[in-house]
Chains A and B, each alone.
Chain A
Amino acid sequence: MKTRIIPKRISAFFIFVLLTACATGGDTYRDQNMDFGSVQTIAVMPFVSLARDNIAAERVRDVFINKLLSTGAVYVLPVGEVARAVARAEIANPSAPSPEEIIKLAGIVKVQAVITGSLREYGEVRSGTSAANIISVSLQMIETQTGKIVWSASSTQGGISIWNRLFGGGGQPMNKITEKAVNDLIDKLFK
């Protein structure tokens, strides 16, 4: 009797292990009531940088704006126009504006959504003798009518892989993983 139960338990365990591979990261939030098709123009606010590199946030924002424009799905305001609107709306911290500030900003530049972001990691990471480049970005989309967050996602690319640990190599160039992370976020936005 015992011999029959054990294989069942083992197979149930293996099925559970295999099913975990189908799980998603769960790092994306989408407001189910939001009509994303109504978003025609977006303002991308300056990203906040939690990394050591001071201009990294600006670099990632630039790549993100270009990639978003190149999808052809939405129009992104020029950064100079966003800076002017931020100054006119007197937003103290443009990387993390309050809902009231966003509504005020939308009145100036006529956008349907605002994207804010933070760069959590950018540059080289080390573990023992291995080193590789890493990037970690998280973004939020805020609807300008209500000031509510309607989409949020994050992406981490690069880092030390098993290959790096075994054979070295230093990982991928920073620009390459930045593009990968931005493409990943855009894929999540349009999913």
Chain B
Amino acid sequence: MISSISFLNRVCVLLFASFLCLSGCTSTKEEVRREAHTRGVEFSIAIFPIENLSGTMAPLKEIERSLTNRLNTRGFHVLEEEALEKFMARNRVRYTGGIDQPMAQALRKETGAEGVLITSLELYSDSNPPKIALTSRLVSTGDDPVILWIEGVGFAGDDSPGILGLGLIEDPRALLEKALEMLAGSLGEYLDKKTEREDLKHLGKKFRPKASYRSDILDTDRKYTVAILPFVNRSARKNAGEVMLLHFVRSMKKLEDLDVIEPGVVRQQLLALRMIIEEGPSLANADALFAILNADLILTGKIMDYQDYQGTYGSARVDFSAQLIERKSRRVVFSSVSHNEGDDGVILFDWGRVNTAHAMASQMTQLIGKMILEDSKRVQGTKGSSGQAK
């Protein structure tokens, strides 16, 4: 009996000692902040005002402030709002959805910011269940604006309802915070490791293009530079062409064999060439863009449907076609047509349902990116277009 008590006492003493030792390893919040500060201080970021592509009213200032606070808390050096406003007024910056070369040079020279964070709001709905979709990218400043990091999030309050609806998010602010936390976390991870490549294994097969063509002119061993043009918008959704462009920029950036030109640079050159693309670029347009942007490929397309729904009932819908033109051959080397609805392939209890067009378009464009780089000679289409001449 005595021996068992002494054994218990020994265990207690050991546990207490180990607890004391472990408490020495903890650090206070202030220490974490200081550590993060020393980590991120080398890279200074300017946060551009949020670009609203949602076509609805949204609390843009609030989103911007919340994002700035999150990055400040993580210890990143964010350029002060006043300094940025002065810079924007001095340089007459009105477009905040991208950055061109002269602006990137001026930003580096005048403010010392090494990167600019460009965020676009794609969807904001505060009716129950709330929905939000954001795409954010970090572009380097200086002589050559390059996309360093890009991430997008699309959430609906009823994405994961759980048992008895315990997982439902009914407060739009809570959903917004969740989305911003994810973006800030991803950016923090990138700035720590300086790498970002996404695993493409988890993409649903149902989001593959319904018909596609890939020419064997495309060399899988070569690294290409691609310029993505805004998609021709034939949908009822405002700014759907720009939204689709961002999806493709994000998907292509994740691929190692493709370098994506910053959309702000492409936009500046389109304006400089006074090029209005109504149906898609002609070969003469493509030649001019290849030369001025020093690109190997031009991606263009048409968006027929890009629809989110309000409330609980409905289905998100995305329908588009994409074409890739190659510089040397002046030919279409990849072409695809994709369309999906949020409840495609859903049989029971809404399993596998996608509630936002953003989440769906993201998977659809990633699969297209993957198919462009696939080594197979020709990607098989659906029944009736077997890839062989009959």
B335 lies within 8 A of A65 (CB): yes
Within 8 A of B (CB), among A26-57: 55
Task: State whether the Cβ of A161 lies closer than 8 Å to any Cβ in chain B.
Answer: no
- In the bound complex, CA of A187 to CA of B212 (Å): 17
Min C-beta distance of A79 to chain B, whole Å: 5
- In the bound complex, CA of A46 to CA of B234 (Å): 15
A67 lies within 8 A of B279 (CB): no
Digit string of A100-126 for contact with B (CB within 8 Å is 1, else 0)?
000000000000000000000000000
A66 lies within 8 A of B282 (CB): no
- In the bound complex, CA of A152 to CA of B213 (Å): 24
Given A62-B302, A175-B210, check contact A72 B389 (CB 8 Å).
yes
B304 lies within 8 A of A59 (CB): yes
Among B140-148, B265-273, B318-326, the stretch that binds chain A is: B318-326
B283 lies within 8 A of A78 (CB): yes
A179 lies within 8 A of B211 (CB): yes
Min C-beta distance of B357 to chain A, whole Å: 16
Pick from A66, A83, A186, A190: contact of B336, CB below 8 A.
Answer: A66
A71 lies within 8 A of B332 (CB): no
B234 lies within 8 A of A70 (CB): no
Min C-beta distance of B284 to chain A, whole Å: 7
B residues near A92, Cβ cutoff 8 Å? none
A66 lies within 8 A of B211 (CB): yes
The residue in chain A whose Cβ has the minimal distance to the Cβ of B331 is A75
What band does the interface of chain B fall in when counting residues whose beta carbon is under 8 Å from A?
35 or more
Task: State whether the Cβ of B327 lies closer than 8 Å to any Cβ in chain A.
Answer: no
- Count A/B pairs, Cβ under 8 Å: 107
Digit string of A137-169 for contact with B (CB within 8 Å is 1, else 0)?
000000000000000000000000000000000
The residue in chain B whose Cβ has the minimal distance to the Cβ of A183 is B384
Pick from A66, A67, A80, A182: contact of B280, CB below 8 A.
Answer: A80
A71 lies within 8 A of B281 (CB): no
Chain A contact surface mostly: helix
Task: State whether the Cβ of A90 lies closer than 8 Å to any Cβ in chain B.
Answer: no
Digit string of B363-390 for contact with A (CB within 8 Å is 1, else 0)?
0000000000000001101111111111
- In the bound complex, CA of A189 to CA of B281 (Å): 28
A184 lies within 8 A of B284 (CB): no
The residue in chain B whose Cβ has the minimal distance to the Cβ of A184 is B384
Digit string of B300-331 for contact with A (CB within 8 Å is 1, else 0)?
10101000000000000001010101000001
B283 lies within 8 A of A73 (CB): no
Pick from B211, B234, B281: contact of A63, CB below 8 A.
Answer: B211
Min C-beta distance of B333 to chain A, whole Å: 10
Min C-beta distance of A145 to chain B, whole Å: 22
B280 lies within 8 A of A78 (CB): yes
- In the bound complex, CA of A180 to CA of B325 (Å): 27
B211 lies within 8 A of A67 (CB): yes
B332 lies within 8 A of A78 (CB): yes
Given A70-B387, A71-B388, A191-B390, check contact A78 B382 (CB 8 Å).
no
Within 8 A of A (CB), among B216-259: 234
Most buried by A among B281, B336, B384: B384
B residues near A55, Cβ cutoff 8 Å? 234, 304
A residues near B379, Cβ cutoff 8 Å? 70
A residues near B284, Cβ cutoff 8 Å? 84
B279 lies within 8 A of A71 (CB): no
A residues near B384, Cβ cutoff 8 Å? 67, 179-180, 182-184, 186-187
- In the bound complex, CA of A175 to CA of B210 (Å): 10
Task: State whether the Cβ of A132 lies closer than 8 Å to any Cβ in chain B.
Answer: no
- In the bound complex, CA of A75 to CA of B284 (Å): 18
Task: State whether the Cβ of B261 lies closer than 8 Å to any Cβ in chain A.
Answer: no
- In the bound complex, CA of A58 to CA of B234 (Å): 9
Task: State whether the Cβ of B127 lies closer than 8 Å to any Cβ in chain A.
Answer: no
B385 lies within 8 A of A175 (CB): no
B residues near A76, Cβ cutoff 8 Å? 332
Min C-beta distance of A123 to chain B, whole Å: 14
B residues near A179, Cβ cutoff 8 Å? 210-211, 382, 384
The residue in chain B whose Cβ has the minimal distance to the Cβ of A182 is B384
A residues near B381, Cβ cutoff 8 Å? 66-67, 70
Pick from A66, A72, A182, A190: contact of B321, CB below 8 A.
Answer: A66
14 A-B pairs, CB-CB below 8 angstroms?
Answer: A58-B234, A66-B336, A67-B337, A69-B335, A70-B378, A71-B385, A73-B389, A78-B283, A80-B280, A81-B282, A84-B283, A180-B384, A187-B390, A191-B390
Which B residues are closer than 8 A to A by beta carbons? 210-213, 234, 277-286, 300, 302, 304, 319, 321, 323, 325, 331-332, 335-337, 339, 378-379, 381-390
Known: A67-B384, A78-B280, A79-B280. 5 other contacts (CB 8 A): A59-B319, A66-B337, A72-B213, A80-B279, A187-B390
Q: Top 7 closest A-B pairs, CB basis?
A: A183-B384, A73-B389, A80-B280, A84-B282, A190-B390, A69-B213, A70-B381
